Amino acid sequence: MDPTVWQYQFRIIMLGDSTVGKSSLLKRYTEDLFPESLSQTLGVDFYVHFLEVEPGVRVKLQFWDTAGQERFRSVTRSYYRNSVGGILVFDMTNRDTFDHVKEWHDEVRQRVQPHTVVFLLVGQKSDREAYGERVVSQEEAEKLAKQLGIPYLEASAKTGHNVKTVFELLAQRVYQALLSGEVELQDGWDGVKCATLQTMRSRTPSLGQESTASKSKKKCCG
């Protein structure tokens, strides 16, 4: 099977202050690399990874890696709306980055309405705990995650600890939300795309002229 063939595409956005390690997490997940001298993201970068969420169901994960720096906020905000998943990242050695998680979460939630984003909270740089540099405890991070109603994981892009689990858990949660109908395909929204529907539409133009009722809310292809 061609590894680039996919049934679904999920758009996932990386969120959090500058230097928490958003790009490093993606680099580790998509290329298994940790370049020590990764430059700060300017605006938004793109990463892609293919994942089988169940036997025979391949998903193209399209990542939007936003810049944490405030000066890019107007650019990065424009990517919120078409995201189905959001990874909220803080650096467990930097309390300010943890204090800002709720602001990131609230801002995205407000701006994506009426859509919903499936979130995950990640405490990054777990490798530094061994050097006594941790300042945000696991308990308080779990408490915040509980308040927000989202899962919490600790990871290290440097060692690779939990990196795969982070992305696979989020992809699974999006997939389950899709199956349960919590997330639905909608015209004019690119958070989730269904390959079969796209292919069928290009082959059979009449499929583009659906009734208004079927247009507004669609079940995804199986």
Ligand X SMILES: Nc1nc2c(ncn2[C@@H]2O[C@H](COP(=O)(O)OP(=O)(O)OP(=O)(O)O)[C@@H](O)[C@H]2O)c(=O)[nH]1
Alpha carbon 57 to chain centroid distance?
19
108 binds ligand X (CB under 6 A): no
Binding to ligand X, residues 64-83 (CB under 6 A): 67-69
Among Mg ion, ligand X, none, partner that 124 touches (CB below 5 to 8 angstroms by kind): ligand X
Least Å distance, CB 18 to ligand X, is 3
Nearer to Mg ion, 7 or 124 (CB): 124
Separation in Å, CA 69 to CA 16, 39, 64, 165, 172: 9, 12, 15, 27, 29
61 burial class (0-12, 13-18, 19+ CB within 10 angstroms)? buried
Q: Which stretch binds ligand X (CB under 6 A): 37-45, 49-57, 78-86, 179-187?
A: 37-45
Q: By C-alpha distance, which of 146, 145, 150, 158 is closest to 85? A: 150
41 binds Mg ion (CB under 5 A): yes
Least Å distance, CB 118 to Mg ion, is 21
A 10 A CB-CB count for 171 gives 21
163 binds ligand X (CB under 6 A): no
Site string for ligand X, 109-138 (x = CB under 6 A): ---------------xx-xx----------
Least Å distance, CB 83 to ligand X, is 16
Nearer to ligand X, 32 or 54 (CB): 32
Residue 67 phi, psi (nearest 5): -80, 135
Q: Are strands 85-91 and 118-124 parallel, antiparallel or unpaired?
A: parallel
| Packing angle, helices 163-180 and 22-31, rounded to 10 | 90
Least Å distance, CB 199 to ligand X, is 35
